[in-house]
Structure 1
Amino acid sequence: MNIEEKCINTIRMLSVDQVQRANSGHPGLPLGAAPAAYVVWKNMNHNPKDPKWINRDRFVLSAGHGSSMLYSLLHLFGYGLEISDLENFRQLNSKTPGHPEYGHTAGVEATTGPLGQGISVAVGMAMAERHLAAIYNKNIEIINHHTYVICGDGDLMEGISNESSSLAGTLGLGKLIVLYDSNNITIEGSTDLAFRENVMLRYAALGWQVLEVKDGNSIREITDALNEAKADEKKPTLIKVDTKIGYGSPREGLSKAHGEPLGEEGILETRKFYEWPEKDFYVSEDVKRHFEEINKDLLFKYEENKRVEKLYEKNYPEEYKKLVNSFNNKFDLEFLEDEEFYKFDKDMASRASSGEALNRIAEKFDLMFGGSADLAPSNKSHMNNSGNFSAETPEGSNINFGIREHAMTAIVNGIMLHGGLKSYGSTFLVFADYMKPAIRLSAIQHLPSIFILTHDSIGVGEDGPTHQPIEQLAMLRSIPNNIVYRPADALEAAVGWSVAMKSDSTPVCLILSRQTLKNLEGSSMEAQKGAYVVKREEGDLEKLIIATGSEVGLAVEAAKDEKGVRVISMPSRELFEAQCKDYKEKIIPLNCKKRIVVEAATSFGWEKYSGDEGKILSIDEFGASGPGSEVFKYFGITVESIKKLLNEM
């Protein structure tokens, strides 16, 4: 075998050795896809010594179950993974977890595993590259790189991948290149059981360039396809690479090759096929030298790029400083300290005050890049003077995601993973159900993605139970490392945006009303602490009401003639729980047992705050169709109901 074939076989055997040592993992994909991965990594622009280089090409292993292959590449290319790390594959606290985890292992660009997420995140990365190039490139191109993906049949079966691929085709993301590891096998058997479509025709219909490599072991064919893909900058490219799962092993072409170790006998047979030494985690000296030579070529390209960067810095020092700072999450947010940002002259729905706050941000901050799932007029999520992002106008900041909530959320994550921008997505709160898997990944990856979720209650009215969120708030609150923020008036809505903009490691979900909310006399900047006293008791504290969003106004009205009653606005339980013990005790004293919690959603999770002697005024059934005000009365979320509960205590 020649040296390149030997390198590929090294990737294969290191990968199956990891799986065998762990007695857990997926050997089939690395055995089949190693040639494609080798060619991509050899040809893409990256530097193991500078893994966060701004203008590097991005690589996403969407088929995250093949993580052992990625770790083999990271070891061989010198990203800091040692053989001992490969030997600890899938072990607790190792650098080589069962699926790639962003922020855990140098060189891993995204957390992948849930199928379809990786390719969708990559669309966001490619959009970020296109948008940043339009912002910063002048006569010197400082942003110019590709996004590569390896995906499998499972990725392309998941609906999210079609949502995101459709948008990528519409936007003409020519620097997005997806290599489809087509081995026709899933866990249950042949893909013919459930997946007989012509993927290439589908992607052609989505506006992609489609190419096929008929011999997945041919370095030349794969290289030629990559070069052809890069030559077309007007369309994203899907390269169908025909492979055999478990290639070279006794399980070649079988579903058992997917997710089970090969076993001792299987490993021996595989070694014989590749004429490989009977030694675990073997890397020959000539293979090491070959990867060192590849890295020299990569370093040459890197240094060439860095010279361009230096020239850009000299000619455009302010733009360069802004670019570098943004990739280090150092954004100029001084405008959030201006009192005018938080002033509103009239009562308005919190979706409207949020929209006003967003546009105040957009006036001062040109690195906001986001949009809505076809609901911008309703979500009030359009930046009025920022233009629309499209194939023809990449400088525009408003993204028309189309009716693609799941892909929208993953794309926002991809934009944030790429770096250099802040991003948001928006839709109705009830459709957060479509977004949840990707919001969960925002939280896992510690991404400060922003999600605008409007029409937050039964106040939606006539659209009825399908559009009236009941359990969605509880669902979002159940996600660790996720801030859910439901403001009671315009000031609180602006504070919510301040929280979202300043967050550096936590997604923020802004939960906003369709109906008009009165600006409350006691509304305060203390909303940033998650809960505060919006109406203080006169004299001794006897009872307290905790409410969120539109229900805070009802609680204040119900308590206005009650001297010993305190009203607490709690826009965010997560922010409140992050406060010190003394602050929490000051707001909700433990010795005050007579409590009422009011929220026009499920009671689930509020028991902690109501306590054993308290009451929860909520809705533990689906909504009803009718005018919003009448639906509130129908379910008893009224001033009169709150007063009645107060009197019964």
Structure 2
Amino acid sequence: MTITSTTSPLLDTEVVTTARGLSIDAVERAGSGHPGTALALTPVAQLLYGRHLRHDPADPQWAGRDRFVLSCGHASILQYVQLYLSGYDLTLDDLRSFRRIGSRTAGHPEYGHTVGVEMTTGPLGQGLASSVGMAMGFARQRALFDPEAPAGESPFDRAVWVLCSDGDLQEGISYEAGALAGRHELGALNVVFDDNRIQIEGETSLTTGEDIAARFEAQGWHVQHVGLAEDGDIDVAALDAAMTAARDETARPSIIVLRSQIAWPAPNAINTPGAHGSPLGGDEAAATKTALGLDPAATFVVSDEVRARADRREEGARMHRAWDELDARWREREPERAGEWDRVVGAPGTVELPAFEAGTSVATRSASGACLAALAPQLPQLWGGSADLGDSNKTTIPGEASFLPESRDGRIVHFGVREHAMAAIANGIALAGGSLPYVGTFLVFSDYMRGAIRLAALMGLPVTYVWTHDSVALGADGPTHQPIEHLASLRAMPGLDVVRPADAKETAVAWRLAAERRTRPMGLVLARQNVPVLDADDVVVEAGVRAGAYAVLEPEAEPEVVVVATGSEVALAVEAARSIADEIAVRVVSMPCREWFLARPAAERDALLPPGIRAVVVEAASSFGWAEVVGRGAGFVTVDRFGASGDAEDVQAEVGLTVANVVAALRG
């Protein structure tokens, strides 16, 4: 039983006209916005919400719903109008307050802020790429929990619909994600590309002569074309047929190249760059309303009849009931898998992780790999991969299958050298639910991921980034691969926990927290080289990492200096402190996560880092940002220059990461 919404008429012209009028009014009232796309694509949105999207406005978080992602997030009013008309918890007043402070209708769609919005979009290309992750997440759920059911007969059969623009497809991330979607044969993914051939600076021919259809065909997509109707509007019948064909194509992702005219039917703004991002203006808005048969003097007008015909709550409830029956039959047929699914989406439990013996020497990247291997059998929802660096990042779990079309239940994703799409896809996997995605690369290449990391932080997604080769100690690869400014840059991002463990024990605790905490992303910053496992009690380490910082070495007397270190430099700080223990009383603090430490009450922070005691920071990275933690009078043994190519020890000495330099800083 395929649960679809196709009982409504093909398109209700009066509803479409009303929706267009609302888009005009909202943008004009706000004095800003992107009316051209919203005007032109209203029939597309109406077809989606009215016929092709399985959704229930009364239960926006319904597990059986399809997903719609407005990748061209600048056209947000297009979606807000459909949510309002469909019966979601949005009002005309919300449309009137479009783009205003405190409004539920922000300038770009925001996940968790506006009901019915499936992800935060606006940075172009992100929505399309994350939708690939959503489709991957759904495919793996299906393979793990209901693999034998015929197509259309599983509660895990859900579609992903995307509306994207020329800007989305110009962003390089779209090439990366498109290639992966084709390779993975993601039949649940359906994209409508708005081929209006206009952008802010003029016609798209100024920037590209690319054959978009040929590109996606080469990547393994099912490609269809829809032209204009005779009046210049969207050819609704052709688009409806193409969307049906896309939904029915299960072996390939689908893209519909839809010809449109931006701002249709605005008499003067149509096909003009200005219609992309500026209000029509009073005269043009009135003229457009007149062309639509609306009263140019009236605003935000919705008749009771139109509202009733546009309302999808009854149809949503029907589809919801049908899905509930499907889900009940699955639970009866697959009680063990159903129980496992409930555990996967339920509250996190405790996990067992490997123990590491003090005095041994283990690279934190290797400790991370051991933790992943231990977590895998406990957490079927934990899966991910690397940007072609699995062996180096230790992200390939031994004995686990690859995630591929022939093994959808595999947990190792081979992203190729596509860091940006990898991070965005991880966002989509997290948004699909029932997954804890992780992705890996070298720390220096986190730069390539940044746009998607920022969206993960904005949305509060449980994505874990495994960033290895975290300092100049990677050695001979040289300064192009040696991160310097990256820790400071990542720590500056709100909503991201940056964790740089000192040893294998701290790494294990960090992974435990990644499994427990489901409300924000975490970056694990890991060393390539072996580092000693510190002589600290496991209970102390557990509490200390959770607190963000703790003392790993206390002097016999009251401390005269506190040295704060992270990662591989904690051992360096301990060695330096011990070497002058007879001269200076030094407390050594490991601070694996500044975010967690700074969230502690001031009294607790001051107890660990007393304001009256001089501090020294030791970290193989830029000193930028440390003053807010330790004060401006602190000493620094940090790296504020690019590295060099050579043996790890020689490079560390070259940039000043030596016991002698730490001792000198402690002496002041």
TM-score bucket of the superposed structures, by smaller chain? over 0.9
1:225 is aligned to 242
CA deviation string 1:279-307 (max 9, x = no partner):
21122333223223x54333322211111
Cα 1:442–1:3, aligned 2, differ >3 Å: closer, same or farther?
closer
Q: Given the alignment of the two structures, is residue 404 of structure 1 paired with residue 418 of structure 2, yes or no?
A: yes
Q: Is the 8 A contact 1:610 1:616 kept in 2?
A: no
Q: Report the more deviating stretch, 610-619 or 244-253.
A: 610-619
Q: Which amino acid aligns with 1:311?
A: R
1:90 is aligned to 99
1:235 is aligned to 252
What is the distance in 2 between the residues matched to 1:76 and 1:325? 36
1:147 is aligned to 160
Q: Given the alignment of the two structures, is residue 621 of structure 1 paired with residue 635 of structure 2, yes or no?
A: no
Q: CA deviation at 1:320?
A: 2.7
2:328 is aligned to 310
What is the distance in 2 between the residues matched to 1:547 and 1:2? 64
User: Residue 12 of structure 2 aligns to a residue in which SS?
Assistant: helix
Q: Is the 8 A contact 1:246 1:257 kept in 2?
A: yes
What is the distance in 1 between the residues matched to 2:30 and 2:357? 58
Choose the corresponding residue for 2:450, options 426, 436, 445.
436
Choose the corresponding residue for 1:638, options 655, 658, 663.
658
Q: Which amino acid aligns with 1:479?
A: M
CA deviation string 1:402-459 (max 9, x = no partner):
1100011111111111111101111000001001111111111111211000000001
Q: Given the alignment of the two structures, is residue 30 of structure 1 paired with residue 38 of structure 2, yes or no?
A: yes
2:561 is aligned to 543
Q: Is the 8 A contact 2:636 2:665 kept in 1?
A: no
Q: Report the more deviating stretch, 537-546 or 466-475.
A: 537-546
2:48 is aligned to 40
What is the distance in 2 between the residues matched to 1:556 and 1:244? 67
The list of structure 1 runs, each at least 4 consecutive aligned residues, that deviate by more than 4 angstroms after superposition, is 340-345
Choose the corresponding residue for 1:320, options 326, 333, 338.
338
Cα 1:95–1:612, aligned 2, differ >3 Å: closer, same or farther?
closer
Choose the corresponding residue for 1:168, options 178, 181, 195.
181
Q: For 1:270-349, list aligned pairs within 5 A.
A: 270-278=288-296, 279-292=298-311, 294-324=312-342, 326-327=344-345, 330-331=347-348, 333-336=349-352, 340=354, 346-349=360-363
Q: Which amino acid aligns with 2:128?
A: I
Q: Is the 8 A contact 2:358 2:536 kept in 1?
A: no
Q: CA deviation at 1:631?
A: 0.3
Q: Report the more deviating stretch, 479-488 or 311-320.
A: 311-320
What is the distance in 2 between the residues matched to 1:151 and 1:343? 52
Q: Is the 8 A contact 1:451 1:509 kept in 2?
A: yes
Q: Which amino acid aligns with 2:21?
A: M
Structure 2, unaligned runs of 5 or more: 1-8
Q: Which amino acid aligns with 1:269?
A: A
User: Residue 552 of structure 2 aligns to a residue in which SS?
Assistant: strand
Q: For 1:15-26, list aligned pairs within 5 A.
A: 15-26=23-34
Q: Which amino acid aligns with 1:247?
A: W
Q: Report the more deviating stretch, 316-325 or 280-289.
A: 316-325
CA deviation string 1:292-351 (max 9, x = no partner):
3x5433332221111111222333344334434544x523x3224x7x556688421100
Cα 1:289–1:488, aligned 2, differ >3 Å: closer, same or farther?
same
What is the distance in 1 between the residues matched to 2:258 and 2:317? 28
2:204 is aligned to 191
Q: Is the 8 A contact 1:342 1:495 kept in 2?
A: no
Q: Is the 8 A contact 2:499 2:524 kept in 1?
A: yes
- Taking only aligned residues, the RMSD between alpha carbons, in angstroms, comes to 1.7
CA deviation string 1:198-236 (max 9, x = no partner):
100001011101101112622211110011112221110
1:572 is aligned to 593
CA deviation string 1:375-396 (max 9, x = no partner):
0000001122331101111110
Choose the corresponding residue for 2:489, options 475, 484, 496.
475
Choose the corresponding residue for 1:368, options 374, 382, 390.
382
2:4 is aligned to none
2:131 is aligned to 122
What is the distance in 2 between the residues matched to 1:612 and 1:172? 55
Q: Given the alignment of the two structures, is residue 530 of structure 1 paired with residue 530 of structure 2, yes or no?
A: no
Q: CA deviation at 1:537?
A: 1.1
What is the distance in 2 between the residues matched to 1:490 and 1:441? 30
What is the distance in 1 between the residues matched to 2:30 and 2:334? 51
What is the distance in 1 between the residues matched to 2:573 and 2:359? 22
1:520 is aligned to 534
Q: Which amino acid aligns with 1:287?
A: V
Q: Report the more deviating stretch, 404-413 or 209-218.
A: 209-218
Q: Given the alignment of the two structures, is residue 209 of structure 1 paired with residue 222 of structure 2, yes or no?
A: yes
CA deviation string 1:144-203 (max 9, x = no partner):
010000000000000011111110001000110000011000000100110221100001
Q: Report the more deviating stretch, 55-64 or 316-325.
A: 316-325
Cα 1:343–1:282, aligned 2, differ >3 Å: closer, same or farther?
farther
Q: Which amino acid aligns with 2:381?
A: L
Q: CA deviation at 1:546?
A: 0.6
1:450 is aligned to 464
What is the distance in 2 between the residues matched to 1:35 and 1:370? 38
Cα 1:342–1:283, aligned 2, differ >3 Å: closer, same or farther?
farther
Cα 1:3–1:414, aligned 2, differ >3 Å: closer, same or farther?
closer
Q: Is the 8 A contact 2:390 2:440 kept in 1?
A: yes
Q: For 1:589-600, list aligned pairs within 5 A.
A: 589-592=610-613, 594-600=614-620
User: Residue 480 of structure 1 aligns to a residue in which SS?
Assistant: coil
Q: Report the more deviating stretch, 485-494 or 207-216.
A: 207-216
User: Residue 384 of structure 2 aligns to a residue in which SS?
Assistant: strand
Q: Is the 8 A contact 2:34 2:275 kept in 1?
A: yes
Q: CA deviation at 1:3?
A: 6.3
What is the distance in 1 between the residues matched to 2:647 and 2:134? 42
Q: Is the 8 A contact 1:123 1:411 kept in 2?
A: yes
Structure 1, unaligned runs of 5 or more: none
Q: TM-score, normalised by structure 1?
A: 0.96
2:171 is aligned to 158
Q: TM-score, normalised by structure 2?
A: 0.94
What is the distance in 2 between the residues matched to 1:207 and 1:3? 31
Q: Is the 8 A contact 1:326 1:419 kept in 2?
A: no
Q: Is the 8 A contact 1:245 1:252 kept in 2?
A: yes
Q: Which amino acid aligns with 2:115?
A: A
Q: Is the 8 A contact 1:25 1:65 kept in 2?
A: yes
Q: Report the more deviating stretch, 490-499 or 109-118.
A: 490-499
CA deviation string 1:543-584 (max 9, x = no partner):
111111111001101111415111011111001112222321
What is the distance in 2 between the residues matched to 1:195 and 1:66? 22
User: Residue 80 of structure 1 aligns to a residue in which SS?
Assistant: coil
Q: Report the more deviating stretch, 415-424 or 1-10.
A: 1-10
What is the distance in 1 between the residues matched to 2:48 and 2:209? 28
Q: Matched residue pairs, number? A: 642
Choose the corresponding residue for 1:501, options 504, 511, 515.
515
Choose the corresponding residue for 2:113, options 65, 84, 104.
104
User: Residue 224 of structure 2 aligns to a residue in which SS?
Assistant: strand
Q: Is the 8 A contact 2:173 2:421 kept in 1?
A: yes
Q: CA deviation at 1:626?
A: 0.4
